Amino acid sequence: MSEKFKAIVLNQSGDKFSREVQTIDKSFLKDGDILVKIEYSDLNFKDAMILKNGGKLIKEYPRIPGIDFSGTVEESNVSDFKKGDQIIVNGSRVGELYHGGYSQYARVKKEFIIKKPEKITTKQAMMLGTGGFTAVLCAFAVKAREDLLLGEKVNEVLVTGSTGGVGSIAVMALSKLGCKVSAVTGKMSHSEYLKELGAENIIDRKELEAEPKLLDKGKWDGVVDTVGGNILANAISQTKHSGIVAACGNASGNKLNTSVIPFILRGVKLWGVDSVAISKKRKEFIWGEMSKLIDFKILEKSIKTVGLSELLKIFPNMLEGKLSNKILVDVNK
pLDDT by position in tens, the chain (length 333): 578 999 999 999 888 999 999 999 999 998 899 999 999 999 999 999 999 999 889 999 999 999 999 999 999 999 999 999 999 999 889 999 999 999 999 999 999 999 999 999 999 999 999 999 999 999 999 999 988 877 789 999 999 999 888 999 999 999 999 999 999 999 898 899 999 999 999 999 999 999 999 999 999 999 999 999 999 999 999 999 999 999 998 877 788 989 999 999 999 999 999 998 899 999 999 999 999 999 999 999 889 999 999 999 999 999 988 887 899 999 999
The 8 Å CB, 24+ separation contacts for 192-199 are: 193/163, 193/301, 193/302, 194/162, 194/163, 194/168, 196/298, 197/168, 197/171, 197/172, 197/298, 198/171, 198/172, 198/174, 199/159, 199/162, 199/171, 199/175
Q: Where are the domains of the chain?
A: 4-116+296-330, 131-272
pLDDT of residue 244: 96
pLDDT of residue 250: 83
Residue pair 126/41 in contact by the 8 Å Cβ criterion = yes
The pTM score is 0.94
Give me the architecture of the 4-116+296-330 domain, per CATH. Alpha-Beta Complex (3.90)
b/e per residue 164-199 (b: at least 16 CB within 10 A): bbbbbbbbbbbbebebebbbbbbbeebbebbeebbb
131-272 sits in which CATH class?
alpha beta
pLDDT of residue 283: 95
pLDDT of residue 325: 83
pLDDT of residue 1: 55
Coil, strand or helix at 308? helix
